[in-house]
Structure 1
Amino acid sequence: MIEWIAEYALFAAKLATLVIALGVLIVLVVSLKQRASGQGDDNRLRVVTLNERQRRRRESLRLAGMSPARRRRAQKTLRKQEKARRKGKDDAFDESPSRVWVLDFDGDLKASRTPQLAEQVSLLLGELQAEDEVVVRLSSGGGLVHAYGLAAAQLDRLRDAGAHLTVCVDKVAASGGYMMACCAHRLIAAPFAVIGSIGVVAQVPNVHRLLKKHDIDVELLTAGRYKRTLTVLGENTDEGRAKFLDDLQETHDLFKRYVGERRPALDVDKVATGEIWYGRQALEDGLIDEIATSDGYLAVRMKEAQVLHVRLEPHHSLLQRVGVGASMGIERLGDSVMERLEASGWQRR
């Protein structure tokens, strides 16, 4: 009996090894085939008419509350209406003078969604009409200066092209997130959305004394007086520290100027202290223009315009889904930890 179990376990192990090997081989072959054909690099464009989606859901909700006989009659009527719509009749939005294009930006430390945002903006710039509006549903606690500078520049492209830009903040637009939000002609936030944090922060650990205690030398060689101002391993100097602070202040001044140019009525010096405000407080200080949620604002716009949600979904090959997904998960975990540490400066419980 024991020998039979051992032989069966060995057979199962061999079979599992064979299945895994075949699976890996198939994934590699498919991935190489996609790469050779140029597939897997493009984002998939998804456009959903929110008016139509809401209409269908309301119809389903209305039908759910009817008796079976009444529901059948209502379904018959709805089918006729749907048939008429498909023929181009009874379509209120064919005559609509404007469209509302909805984009989403959920930012991390590196503003990783910027390439998708840039592509969406490029697509819209070739389609926008004079009466159209672009609504960006933004959520970001900020991150790297250069990353959010690039993300904000994408929204500036819409402004420069003459598009009417509205930004809706339901949760947070702080630091780099507010740098993006202030690009809007109209900035809307929920009552308790976190707004502001117009400041710059940097933290650099230094283990020089620990290394020195254990007789470990670190050679730090530079060409250029300020190539390295503060370091992790080397010995930091007062001169380098002062230069680092000067750089922070210069970055802060650029941030303030950027906000002031886009919101000229705002007292930038008053609010550029690194503090955060909730939505209603931000409205009083001029950081935002209106208190509302993105859902509420879009519900109003759906009554008067065609509202289109534009989304770009990255196409992942099998190899990317199986292998790269693990490394991306680890990277996201690290980013999440850093974001929590960063957010501890403005989160209130």
Structure 2
Amino acid sequence: MARFIRKLLPRRWRPDHIEIPVVRLHGAIMAGSSRFRNDLSLSSTAGMLEEAFSDKDAPAVAISINSPGGSPVQSRLIYRRIRDLAAEKNKKVHVFVEDVAASGGYMIAVAGDEIIADPSSIVGSIGVVSASFGFTELIKKIGVERRVHTAGSNKSTLDPFKPENKQDIEHLKALQLEIHETFINLVKERRGEKLSDNPDLFTGLFWTGIRGLELGLIDGLGDMRSHLQSQYGPKTKLKLIAPPRGLFGRKLPSAEIGFGGIGAGFAEGIVNAAEERALWSRFGL
């Protein structure tokens, strides 16, 4: 309706440029939210995506991604929300990779109708990883006795304070294979014949944007502003969709700290920060 009304206006009153909403999806992908970290989840991104796709005058939405991955569930939920909104609002989705779109970050990237990356960006890492620590020797040295009581023989599976169990590892690997297969099928569905037949494509390896283009993981090399201006005209403007802010300009968390209070939240923040740091460090960042 708005476009129709603008056509009725004298030419001198009509906007002489196209404005493209931009959503920045930057951070590790984790369930929930915390005031101690910047992360991505469906709850933290849904509002921005809804606002961007609700712009009736924009022919497309641009999404900037900089993520080393994280939760496969949250990655797929964000991917699905982007595709659903694109279909509902009939808009093209342009995805731009900054430093990295790997693992779950790449899963979100394939929601784009096209993926553009910098030549030095990192893309790929189509795989599944689980990591933890074992503390069995440590608790012996400091004289701590571990006491666990369960209802269900497998309830303490993968307990870090117990020696690794062959059956536990086999069960974990079976879960990983199912998640990996879901990831592979999603990439094949979206990228189709663009993908090369390189046998390493789905092994978890990652590549630069240059190599990613050769493998069919992305569609081109470049930056957001230049690419969109080449697509929609030199006067194209970008409109950043910002996350909601609180009274003092801080990003509002989508969920508050629970019953543990500030101390528990701070401890959780330290653990989550270490986890996020490990995700980024895999790609030298």
Match of residue 256, structure 1, among 177, 181, 184: 184
Quote the RMSD (CA, aligned, Å): 3.4
Aligned CA distance change for structure 1 residues 305 and 132 (closer, same or farther; 3 Å): farther
Measured after TM superposition, the shift of residue 291 of structure 1 is 0.9
- Is residue 15 of structure 2 the alignment partner of residue 93 of structure 1? yes
- Is residue 23 of structure 2 the alignment partner of residue 103 of structure 1? yes
C-alpha distance in 2 between matches for 1:272 and 1:300: 32
Match of residue 117, structure 1, among 2, 20, 45: 45
Match of residue 135, structure 1, among 62, 84, 90: 62
| Alignment correspondent of 1:74 | none
Q: Equivalent residue of 1:221, what SS?
A: coil
| Alignment correspondent of 2:83 | 156
Match of residue 134, structure 2, among 203, 206, 216: 206
Using structure 2 for the length normalisation, give the TM-score: 0.75
Measured after TM superposition, the shift of residue 314 of structure 1 is 2.5
Measured after TM superposition, the shift of residue 196 of structure 1 is 0.5
Q: What percentage of residue pairs aligned between the two structures are identical? A: 25
Aligned CA distance change for structure 1 residues 166 and 317 (closer, same or farther; 3 Å): same
Superposition misfits of 4+ residues, deviation over 6 angstroms:
326-333
- Is residue 196 of structure 2 the alignment partner of residue 276 of structure 1? no
C-alpha distance in 2 between matches for 1:210 and 1:137: 43
- CA displacement, residues 247-271 of structure 1 (integer Å, 9 cap, x when unaligned): 1222211111121121112258641
* Kept after mapping to 2: 8 A contact 1:109/1:335: no
Q: Equivalent residue of 1:312, what SS?
A: coil
* Kept after mapping to 1: 8 A contact 2:23/2:63: yes
- Is residue 221 of structure 2 the alignment partner of residue 291 of structure 1? yes
* Kept after mapping to 2: 8 A contact 1:141/1:177: yes
Measured after TM superposition, the shift of residue 198 of structure 1 is 0.8
C-alpha distance in 2 between matches for 1:274 and 1:183: 19
Question: Which residue identity does 2:46 align to in structure 1?
Answer: A
* Kept after mapping to 2: 8 A contact 1:108/1:339: yes
Question: Which residue identity does 2:50 align to in structure 1?
Answer: S
Using structure 1 for the length normalisation, give the TM-score: 0.63
Higher Rg: 1
* Kept after mapping to 1: 8 A contact 2:229/2:235: no
C-alpha distance in 2 between matches for 1:209 and 1:333: 23
Within a 5 Å distance, the mapping from 1:188-207 to structure 2 comes to 188-207=116-135
Measured after TM superposition, the shift of residue 182 of structure 1 is 0.9
- CA displacement, residues 121-180 of structure 1 (integer Å, 9 cap, x when unaligned): 223444446x71111111111122223222222222234323211101122101111010
Aligned residues: 256
Q: Equivalent residue of 2:246, what SS?
A: coil
Question: Which residue identity does 1:204 align to in structure 2?
Answer: S
| Alignment correspondent of 2:6 | none
Consecutive unaligned residues in structure 2, runs of 5 or more: 1-8, 31-38, 257-261
Structure ranking higher in helix proportion: 1
C-alpha distance in 1 between matches for 2:279 and 2:171: 23
Aligned CA distance change for structure 1 residues 238 and 330 (closer, same or farther; 3 Å): closer
